[in-house]
Amino acid sequence: MSGGEAPVFIKNRSELIKTELHADALDVLEAGLRAADPASSVRRAISRRGSEVCVLSECFDAARGVHVVGFGKAGLGMSLGCEDALGDLIAGGVVIVPSPAPQRRLRRIEVVEGEHPIPGEKTLKASRRLVEYLEENLREGDAVIVLISGGGSALFEIPRSPLTLEDVAITTDALMKAGADIVELNTVRKHLSLVKGGGLLRLLERAGRVFSLIISDVVGDPVEFIASGPTEADTTTYRDAYEVLQRRGVWGALPDRVRRLVLDGLSDRVPETLKPGDPLLNRVRNIIVASNMISLGEMKRKAEELGYRATILTSMMVGEAKEVGRFLGGVARHIARYKAPDEKVMVLLGGETTVTVRGRGRGGRNQELCVGFSLSSRGLSNAVLASIGSDGIDGNSPAAGGVCDGLLVDEALRAGLDPHRYLDDNDTYGLLSRLSRAIVTGPTGTNVNDLTVLAVK
Q: Give the model's pLDDT for residue 2.
A: 44
Residues 6+ apart with CB under 8 A from 352: 219, 317, 318, 365, 449, 450
Cβ(185)–Cβ(225) below 8 Å: no
Beta strands 143-148 and 209-215 are: parallel
C-alpha to C-alpha distance for 439 and 432, rounded to whole angstroms: 9
pTM: 0.92
Which among 284, 243, 248 has a CA at the least distance from the CA of 265? 243
φ, ψ at 437 (rounded to 5°):
-120, 0
Residues 57-100: tens digit of each pLDDT:
999 999 999 999 999 999 999 999 999 999 999 999 999 999 98
Cβ(186)–Cβ(196) below 8 Å: yes
Residues 53-68: tens digit of each pLDDT:
999 999 999 999 999 9
φ, ψ at 46 (rounded to 5°):
-130, 155
Cβ(27)–Cβ(306) below 8 Å: yes
Q: Give the model's pLDDT for residue 51.
A: 93
Beta bridge partners of 215: 290
Residues 6+ apart with CB under 8 A from 12: 436, 438, 439, 440
- The low-confidence residues of the chain, meaning pLDDT below 50, are 1-3
Question: 92-115: buried (b, 16+ CB within 10 Å) or exposed (e) per residue?
Answer: ebbbbbbeebeeeebebbbbbbbb
Q: What is the DSSP string of 52-87?
A: EEEETTEEEE-TT-EEEEEESTTHHHHHHHHHHHHG
C-alpha to C-alpha distance for 366 and 370, rounded to whole angstroms: 6
Q: Give the model's pLDDT for residue 3.
A: 45
Q: Give the model's pLDDT for residue 1.
A: 43
Which among 18, 16, 28 has a CA at the least distance from the CA of 454? 28
Cβ(249)–Cβ(179) below 8 Å: no
Distances in whole angstroms, Cα of residue 109 to Cα of each of 54, 73, 131, 260: 19, 16, 14, 39
Q: Give the model's pLDDT for residue 5.
A: 58
Q: Give the model's pLDDT for residue 75.
A: 96
Beta strands 284-290 and 90-98 are: unpaired
% of the chain beyond a pLDDT of 70: 99
| The one-letter amino acid at 385 | L
Structural domains in the chain plus CATH codes: 13-36+293-456 (3.40.1480.10), 38-158+193-236+273-290 (3.40.50.10180)
